[in-house]
Amino acid sequence: MRSWPYSDDELRRMYAGGRGDATARRFTRVWAAVLGTGLFPRRWVTLEVAGRRTGRRTRFPLGMADWQGEWYLVSMLGDDCNWVRNVRAAGGRATLRHGRARACRLVEVPVDERAPILKRYLRKVPGARPHLPVDRHAPLAEFAAIAPRYPAFRIEYADGSE
């Protein structure tokens, strides 16, 4: 059955090579603005981080995964996508926007700790399902096998709150 408005194959093609095509970039701009308003549930946010080359603020709409009392961002496109590279270049300093802007630090999770976070992420962020090569109901061992390719970052808010 076809998902609306794009099939899983069409969604994967929008991000061929880990970079969004023109359609994906348009969706990114729209969703970054919408999710930043805070009108959607808490797990939907806009990440703002300095561009690694220009230093200008870039925005990315993302879904967060909650796991054992912490919140995480996961890269559905893998290790080489823009927001991951920008966060690493910024030393983890970023802002999450959900109604209001909150400064935070994103701390990369070691590979051997990612599997349960990836599993939770696939359960809670349906848009990522076409991009990760594991079924959301798969055993943890299958998530551990792909963990080196999909970074996860624990969110630490500057004000110490959750």
Cα 136 to Cα 9: distance, rounded to the nearest angstrom? 17
Alpha-carbon 10 to chain mean position = 19
Number of folded domains in the chain?
Answer: 1
Amino acid 81: pLDDT: 86
In a domain, 71, yes or no: yes
In a domain, 39, yes or no: yes
Q: Which two tokens stand for residue 66?
A: 């909650």
CATH number, residue 60: 2.30.110.10
Amino acid 1: pLDDT: 44
In a domain, 100, yes or no: yes
In a domain, 2, yes or no: no
Amino acid 2: pLDDT: 46
In a domain, 12, yes or no: yes
- Per the structure, the complete domain to which residue 101 belongs is given by 8-157
What is this structure's pTM?
Answer: 0.79
In a domain, 162, yes or no: no
pLDDT in tens, the chain (162 residues): 445 565 666 655 666 666 666 765 666 665 666 666 765 657 789 899 999 999 899 888 899 999 999 999 999 888 888 899 999 999 999 999 988 899 999 999 999 999 999 999 999 988 888 888 999 999 999 999 999 999 999 999 987 766
Q: How far is CA 10 from CA 52, 76, 123, in A?
A: 29, 15, 21
Amino acid 148: pLDDT: 97
Amino acid 151: pLDDT: 97
Element (H, E) at 41: none
In a domain, 3, yes or no: no
In a domain, 131, yes or no: yes
Q: Which two tokens stand for residue 71?
A: 């919140």
